[in-house]
Amino acid sequence: MTLNFCRELSAADWIAHSDLPWQRLVGFGPAGFDAYARLRFLPDPARPGQSENDAAADWPTDQLPTLFEVLATHTTTPEDCYFCVWEGFGNADVTADDDAVYIDEENSGTALERPGGQPGLAPTPAAQPSMPRAPKVVVPHRAYWLFRGPSADVGTWETAAGWPGQRPFSNAEPAFAWPADHAWCVAKDVDPHWAGIGGTRALITQLITDPRLDVVPADPTQNQPLYR
């Protein structure tokens, strides 16, 4: 099986239409899960203002395959998952929609709309005959391409069916990942040293106690540890 690039974006409505503050949304995903946690790729900073350059170098960083292995056992749809990939990964290409609009909704009070009145999605300009533009899921300050497929195929963006222009990515991690049944959601923004996870209490407990992972409980309503 393989991933498929999505031009129809309604599966991401629960993210694009969320009214959460954008930092919480991109850090932990949508609200409504029973429990949340953080998967740490670096130890939390030991002091305010600490640089990532001063973090422990032997921390386990390649944990995502193990994470998705566990997540697949906590959904009824492991073969039908969605992944948002931040547009900032990879090299520039001519097929991407460069007209995406970023709105700071907290300051402007203006909702992002596309033709037809659908909020939260990038406007889709007229397609070129030979190079169709790639629609994006948009939240304040961020825009993403949407992929669909088995949880085990996470990260195989370049070989996705229907991917226009075959844009190369460089170590692109999913900014959001969730199964079709919404049993859990993983969120990984570009700056934090961790990924946020929302799910059932049973899932979060299993992740915290898995010796292969560095997962700690988290309260998404509170400020999280960050490096400068």
- Residue 142 CB coordination number (10 Å): 21
| pLDDT bucket at 171, cuts 50 / 70 / 90 | confident
The pLDDT of residue 68: 97
Number of domains in the chain: 1
Strand-pairing partners, residue 139, are 142
* Residue 226, domain member (yes or no): no
| pLDDT bucket at 129, cuts 50 / 70 / 90 | very low
Summarize pLDDT for 74-103 with one digit per residue, the tens: 999 999 999 999 998 865 443 444 434 333
Which residue, among 198, 190, 175, 176, has the nearest Cα to 227 in the 3D structure? 190
Q: Helix count (H) and strand count (E) of the chain?
A: 5, 11
Cα separation of 39 and 23, whole Å? Answer: 17
Block residue for tokens 């700071």: 104
* Residue 192, domain member (yes or no): yes
- CA–CA distances in Å: residue 48 to residues 36, 171, 228: 24, 28, 8
The answer to whether the beta carbons of residues 1 and 145 sit under 8 Å apart is: no
* Residue 228, domain member (yes or no): no
For 162-193, give one letter per residue: b (16+ CB within 10 A) or e. ebbeebebeebbbbbbbbeebbbbbbbbeebb
* Residue 225, domain member (yes or no): no
Please state the pTM of the whole predicted model: 0.82
Cα separation of 177 and 114, whole Å? Answer: 24
* Residue 194, domain member (yes or no): yes
Q: Which domain holds residue 81?
A: 4-123+130-217
* Residue 227, domain member (yes or no): no
* Residue 190 DSSP SS3: coil
* Residue 151, domain member (yes or no): yes
* Residue 224, domain member (yes or no): no
Residue 131 has pLDDT above 60, yes or no: no
